[in-house]
């Protein structure tokens, strides 16, 4: 478990003090994938780098597996850090070393005996799917392959925690997905807690269990990814969510709409049911889809639809109540005219 207690990080600059992290409190459970989201400058990197004390917090505590890292002596901290792996947006591989040597480098830092080294490197290469690239140099690898080496290196000393600093931001969407799946596999099979920072909600949607949204060094919202996606509270969170669940309908289309416009959300299993078609059958109304999607967050469906309902106002009201009675959240965006 990771406990971040009242953590602040101030930077002294020529223009005065900058609050990188401002009194953050977070608890991250063992085995969880936790995402920290925010725009550039929100304080994500500062917070992540405080977790393994790459940055020393100005105040507050970082507790990892029951030990306050800020209180550890140099040698104790070095040992504790070996159990915290980290991967980076720009990989930071050593260009003069082969893939195998890059991974072995982390094992040497932990004084792994020579005879164990080769077998451990091979094991890690297999885990990240790079056995055939063992003897090549980083320059000969694609971005996704470089990140796989980064992951193998981070896992070398059997960490309990993996910190990911914008790990997929330099990768194309397909490669991003394959790296995220690898991270999820590592989380599930090795029970490694993962904390990642990103500015992309798709990353969070794909693999995180819980998340926090940061702005100006502070956490403005925190919760399960599903709850936050289905019911974001802070304005900033809503903005982030709209980047993945967008309801933009061209004005030209909206201008033609004469019925009521409603936004309908189905959570969980109910998303698969034919609530909307039942509604159309039960009441004397017509429904036209203007926009819609079913997103799967942690394999649980979240259905979001924007639709026009045509009919007598009373029937529309009854139809909306019917959908609500069947578990939908309905918001009337515009009444018919």
Ligand X SMILES: Nc1ncnc2c1ncn2[C@@H]1O[C@H](COP(=O)(O)OP(=O)(O)OP(=O)(O)O)[C@@H](O)[C@H]1O
Contact positions toward ligand X, by CB under 6 A? 11, 13, 18, 20, 38, 40-46
Q: How far is the CB of 217 from ligand X (least distance, A)?
A: 6
Which is closer to ligand X, CB of 54 or CB of 332? 54
Which strand (E) or helix (H) includes residue 197?
A: strand 193-198
Q: Is residue 122 packed enough to be buried (19+ CB in 10 Å), middle (13-18) or exposed (0-12)?
A: middle
Residue 42 or residue 276: which is nearer to ligand X going by CB?
Answer: 42
- Closer of 91 and 266 to ligand X (Cβ): 91
**Residue 249, φ and ψ in degrees, nearest 5:** -115, 130
The distance of closest approach from Cβ of residue 44 to ligand X in the complex, given in angstroms and rounded to an integer, is: 4
CB of 292 to ligand X, least distance (A): 32
In whole angstroms, how close is the CB of 88 to ligand X at the nearest point?
Answer: 11
CA gyration radius for the chain? 24
**What is residue 59's three-state secondary structure?**
strand
CB of 197 to ligand X, least distance (A): 6
CA–CA separation, 219 and 121 (whole Å)? 39
Looking at the Cβ atoms of 43 and 60, the one nearer to ligand X is 43
Nearest to 148, CA basis, from 110, 100, 109, 113: 100
Give dist(CA 192, CA 64) in Å, integer: 13
Contact 207, 200 (CB under 8 A): no
- For residues 62 and 104, which CB has a smaller minimum distance to ligand X in the complex? 62
Q: How many residues does the chain have?
A: 337
Please report how close the Cβ of residue 230 comes to ligand X at its closest, in angstroms: 25
Q: Are strands 2-13 and 67-68 parallel, antiparallel or unpaired?
A: unpaired
Q: What is the DSSP letter of 270?
A: G
| CB of residue 42 to ligand X, shortest distance in Å | 4
- Asked whether 294 and 251 are in contact (CB, 8 A), the reply is no
Considering the complex, state which of residue 79 and residue 90 has its C-beta at the smaller distance from ligand X. 90
DSSP string, 180-247: HHHHHHHHHHH--EEEEEES-HHHHHHH-SEEEEEETTEEEEEEEHHHHHHS--SHHHHHHHHTTS--
């Amino acid at each position: 478990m990771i406990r971040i207690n009242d953590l602040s990080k101030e930077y002294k600059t020529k223009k005065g003090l900058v609050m990188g992290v401002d009194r953050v409190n977070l608890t991250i459970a063992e085995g969880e994938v936790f995402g920290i989201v925010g725009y550039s400058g929100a304080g994500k990197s500062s917070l992540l780098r405080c977790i393994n004390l790459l940055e020393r917090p100005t105040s507050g505590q970082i507790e990892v597996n029951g030990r306050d890292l800020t209180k550890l002596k140099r040698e104790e901290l070095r040992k504790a850090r070996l159990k915290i792996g980290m991967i980076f947006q720009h990989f930071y591989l050593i260009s003069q070393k082969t893939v195998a040597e890059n991974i072995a480098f982390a094992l040497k830092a932990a004084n792994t005996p020579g005879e164990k080294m080769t077998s451990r490197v091979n094991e890690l290469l297999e885990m990240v799917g790079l056995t055939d690239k063992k003897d090549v140099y980083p320059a000969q690898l694609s971005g996704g392959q470089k990140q796989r080496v980064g992951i193998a290196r981070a896992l070398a000393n059997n960490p309990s925690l993996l910190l990911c600093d914008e790990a997929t931001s330099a990768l194309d969407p397909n490669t991003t997905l394959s790296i995220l799946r690898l991270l999820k596999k590592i989380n599930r099979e090795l029970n490694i807690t993962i904390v990642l920072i990103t500015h992309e909600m798709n990353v969070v949607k794909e693999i995180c269990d819980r998340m926090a949204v940061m702005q100006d060094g502070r956490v403005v919202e925190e919760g399960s990814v599903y709850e936050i996606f289905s019911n974001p509270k802070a304005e900033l969170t809503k903005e982030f969510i709209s980047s993945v669940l967008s309801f933009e309908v061209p004005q030209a289309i909206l201008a033609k709409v004469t019925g009521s416009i409603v936004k309908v959300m189905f959570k969980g299993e109910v998303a698969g049911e034919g609530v909307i078609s039942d509604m159309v059958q039960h009441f004397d109304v017509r429904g036209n889809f203007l926009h819609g999607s079913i997103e799967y967050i942690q394999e649980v469906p979240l259905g979001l639809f924007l639709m026009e309902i045509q009919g007598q106002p009373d029937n529309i009201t009854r139809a909306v109540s019917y959908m609500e009675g069947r578990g939908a959240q309905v918001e009337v965006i515009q009444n018919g005219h």
